[in-house]
């Protein structure tokens, strides 16, 4: 059996890095420069009879003031239509207005999709205890199915995400 999982988040939080790690190969370009990915990138994770299509979804943070932005946004939103799970990736240090905008887009839908919050780049955080106030704050924003500190580049908790993706199908 198979299903789709979307990776969403503002630019530069590590979506493409996570996609590559989940797939164990470089299918999506990662960069320090924001907005490297303008199009959806998909990758298929195959495990026996099970296949998960991961979709790297840029553009959910974009304000819809201009027609082109509405178009990009609609493309991003449409890739959320049929997914079993959404991985909302944020930076382990900073929450921005763009993160709120992404979260808003997720809140518009009331179906049984799982939404997990992946707090990325925790390898950058020396004092792990300092994460707790941030985690508590984020837990209040939305009823996430799971909140998981991860490191997409180091691979920390990426297996856990893969397990949850499997369970969501």
| Binding residue ranges for GTP | 9-16, 56-60, 120-123
Which two tokens mark 138? 């984020």
Give the one entry of Mg ion, ligand GDP, none that residue 153 binds, where binding means its C-beta sits below a cut-off of 5 to 8 angstroms depending on kind. Answer: ligand GDP
Instruction: Name the phi and psi angles at 116, rounded to 5.
Output: -110, 145
Give the one entry of Mg ion, ligand GDP, none that residue 124 binds, where binding means its C-beta sits below a cut-off of 5 to 8 angstroms depending on kind. Answer: ligand GDP
Give the one entry of ligand GDP, Mg ion, none that residue 121 binds, where binding means its C-beta sits below a cut-off of 5 to 8 angstroms depending on kind. Answer: ligand GDP
Which two tokens mark 80? 């959320």
Binding to ligand GDP by residue 152, rule CB under 6 A?
A: yes
Give the one entry of ligand GDP, Mg ion, none that residue 61 binds, where binding means its C-beta sits below a cut-off of 5 to 8 angstroms depending on kind. Answer: none
Closest to 9 measured CA to CA, from 95, 81, 75: 95
Among residues 57, 73, 79, 120, which is the contact residue for ligand GDP, using CB under 6 A?
120
Q: How many residues interact with ligand GDP (rule CB under 6 A)?
A: 21
Residue (16 or 168) nearer to Mg ion, CB? 16
Contacting Mg ion within 26-55 (CB under 5 A): 37
Radius of gyration of the chain (CA): 15
Residue nearest to Mg ion (CB): 16
Contacting ligand GDP within 4-63 (CB under 6 A): 9, 11-17, 30-32, 36-37
Among residues 40, 75, 123, 145, which is the contact residue for ligand GDP, using CB under 6 A?
123
Contacts of 55 (CB under 8 A, 6+ apart): 4, 5, 6, 7, 40, 41, 42, 79, 83
Contacts of 69 (CB under 8 A, 6+ apart): 62, 63
Instruction: Name the phi and psi angles at 158, rounded to 5.
Output: -70, -35
Calculate the CA 120 to chain-centre distance.
10
Per CB under 6 A, residues contacting ligand GDP are 9, 11-17, 30-32, 36-37, 120-121, 123-124, 151-154
């Amino acid at each position: 059996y198979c299903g789709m999982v979307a990776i969403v988040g503002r630019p530069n939080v590590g979506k493409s890095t996570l996609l590559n790690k989940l797939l164990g190969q470089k299918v999506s370009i990662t960069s320090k420069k924001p907005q490297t990915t303008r199009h959806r990138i998909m990758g298929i994770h195959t495990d026996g009879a099970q296949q998960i299509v991961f979709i790297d979804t840029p553009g959910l943070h974009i304000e819809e003031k201009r027609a082109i932005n509405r178009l990009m946004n609609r493309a991003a939103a449409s890739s959320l239509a049929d997914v079993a799970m959404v991985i909302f990736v944020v930076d382990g240090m900073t929450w921005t207005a763009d993160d709120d905008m992404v979260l808003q887009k997720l809140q518009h839908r009331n179906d049984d999709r799982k939404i997990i919050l992946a707090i990325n780049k925790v390898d950058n955080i020396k004092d792990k205890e300092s994460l707790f106030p941030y985690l508590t704050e984020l837990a209040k924003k939305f009823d996430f199915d799971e909140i998981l500190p991860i490191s997409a580049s180091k691979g920390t908790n990426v297996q856990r995400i893969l397990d949850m993706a499997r369970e969501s199908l």
